[in-house]
Structure 1
Amino acid sequence: MTALRRRPLRPLRRRRGEQVTQMEFRILGPIEAVRAGQSVRLAGPQQRSVLAALLLARGRMVSVGRLVRLLWAEQPPATARTQLRKRVSELRAVLGADRIRSWRDGYAVRLEAGELDLDRFLDEVRRAAVLGHAGRPAEASAALGAALDWWRGPALADGTDELTDAEASQLEEARLAAIEQRMAVRLDLGHHPQVIGELITLVRRHPFRERLRGQLMLALHHSGRTADGLGVYRDWRAELSAQLAIEPGRELRDLHRALLGGNVSC
């Protein structure tokens, strides 16, 4: 897996009244552990992957068998269990002996509230939903922006290929859903010209996410560029027909008809 440049460590952001934590664990990007603002050295993709797998379980036991598969897939060496015990021992040495508990056939990590960046991301997404339902879209947009700020690159970026294959897609789906929701809120706020450039980039990167494509069509329409919005649909329909012999999804077709008829209400 291609190594990513590590970004400088940043302080943990908190809202007023939140409890200060000494440890931070980061998996929304390169896998990192941070103690009191200082990076904890994690030696190699296997050690990072064991830690990430335990963090994703949030205190539940992860079996030895699953950890072995996340390190070596279906072809573990004869010494796999011994090597796994060594990785766990190394983690205890740098994180503290009480951080990782042993079970009969597995391990679990002790994780306190606010220590994992994934949980902070999800907390902000949930807060945005509450604000949106309360009719406070500007604050909801800010909360979604704060949620997305927790991402430092592709999730689990420097773990084993087996770990990223097993876990990264679900995390990426959560990130993209948050992006789509923030775009929807910004469109509701009338930020149509401001989001066009970002939506063009997102559609190019994620062509099969039709919600983003529909949002681009809406942003163009409300910016006085309805013809360009219709062109987005026309080009996508032609591409799908040529490559897969299918039509765009129902919601995108409905939006296309609304643009043609001048019946767009949002």
Structure 2
Amino acid sequence: MGDSHTSHTGVRFELLGPLRALRDGVEIPLGPPKQRAVLAVLLLQEGRPMSYDGLVEAVWGGSPPVHVRNLVQKYVSGLRRALGDGPLLEWTGSGYRLSGAAVDDLRERRQLVDAALAARDAGELRRAAELVARAEELWRGEFAEGLAAPCLAAERLRWSEKRLSVLEARLAGQIEAGRPFESVHELVRLAAAHPLRERPVELLMLALCRAGRGTEALLAYEELRRRLAEALGTDPGPALRSLHARILRQDPALLAEPVPVG
């Protein structure tokens, strides 16, 4: 996407990785980590006022420092100086409001994923995969990486799950489009990175099966079953057990069936 897509005030904000603000492609220094956390939290309000108490809770949690009011005023003043003309950070009487600003990479990601879903529903699987790949390229690291704040920690977890789900949907679409070989290596890495998550192993088993590597698909199931038993004392879920049974009996329909992408 590049840095040409910015808020109407000329400043581009990004949160899919470390927080960045860019004016004309040049990064704006945003000050110390807590000041950056205040900005990230206010950006996520999308122009809605946030009460003083709500801001303190979001940035510091239930045990803020003694002089937190002074810190909030200091950081707000610092952000006003850093952002200069353009985005407006003001006290409305009911809370702090940041207007004239948007999280541009989040908006672009949403547009790309929506377009990918529309393409998938229209049967344009290759275009859907390309759009999702472009959405993934917007990520530069973890969500709001490096900023310690309860609100941002919760958002980081939520976005990690959303990112994984989109990645899994892209790989499912790739298998469905008849390109299982292209998916195998990425699915092996994904399963290793999330050893107790079942969906990557389910997709890996499908890809291996359709690539004529049924024995490896069964081994992938056994490895996950062992990991789940050791870590949680549970078995794989019904979708995975059903797929395992179908591979064992060499179900011919399995090779041609569409892959569920949800």
TM-score normalised according to structure 2 size: 0.89
Corresponding residue for residue 131 of structure 1: 119
Q: Determine which of 106, 111, 123 is the counterpart of 2:95.
A: 106
* Deviation at residue 106 of structure 1 after TM alignment: 2.1
* Deviation at residue 76 of structure 1 after TM alignment: 1.3
State how far apart, in whole Å, the 2-side matches of 1:11 and 1:64 are.
35
State how far apart, in whole Å, the 2-side matches of 1:207 and 1:45 are.
32
TM-score normalised according to structure 1 size: 0.88
Q: Determine which of 12, 16, 21 is the counterpart of 2:3.
A: 12
Q: Cα RMSD over matched residues?
A: 2.1
Corresponding residue for residue 28 of structure 2: 40
Question: Which consecutive residues of structure 1, in runs of 5 or more, have no partner in the other structure?
Answer: 1-9
Corresponding residue for residue 191 of structure 1: 179
State how far apart, in whole Å, the 2-side matches of 1:250 and 1:59 are.
44
Alpha carbons 2:3, 2:24 under 8 Å: kept: no
Map 1:65-144 onto structure 2 (within 5 A).
65-96=53-84, 98-111=87-100, 116-144=104-132
* Deviation at residue 19 of structure 1 after TM alignment: 9.3
Question: Which consecutive residues of structure 2, in runs of 5 or more, have no partner in the other structure?
Answer: 258-262
Map 1:1-266 onto structure 2 (within 5 A).
11-12=2-3, 22-96=10-84, 98-111=87-100, 116-263=104-251, 264=254, 265-266=256-257
* Deviation at residue 238 of structure 1 after TM alignment: 2.0
The 3-state SS of whatever aligns with 1:100 is: strand
* Deviation at residue 111 of structure 1 after TM alignment: 4.3
State how far apart, in whole Å, the 2-side matches of 1:13 and 1:23 are.
10
Deviation string 1:37-93 (CA, Å, 9 cap, x unpaired) is 000001111111111111112112222223212332222122212211211111111
* Deviation at residue 30 of structure 1 after TM alignment: 0.5
State how far apart, in whole Å, the 2-side matches of 1:164 and 1:243 are.
28
Residue 162 of structure 1 aligns with an amino acid whose one-letter code is P
The 3-state SS of whatever aligns with 1:41 is: coil
Alpha carbons 1:49, 1:163 under 8 Å: kept: no
State how far apart, in whole Å, the 2-side matches of 1:231 and 1:194 are.
19
Residue 142 of structure 1 aligns with an amino acid whose one-letter code is E
Paired residues in the alignment total 253
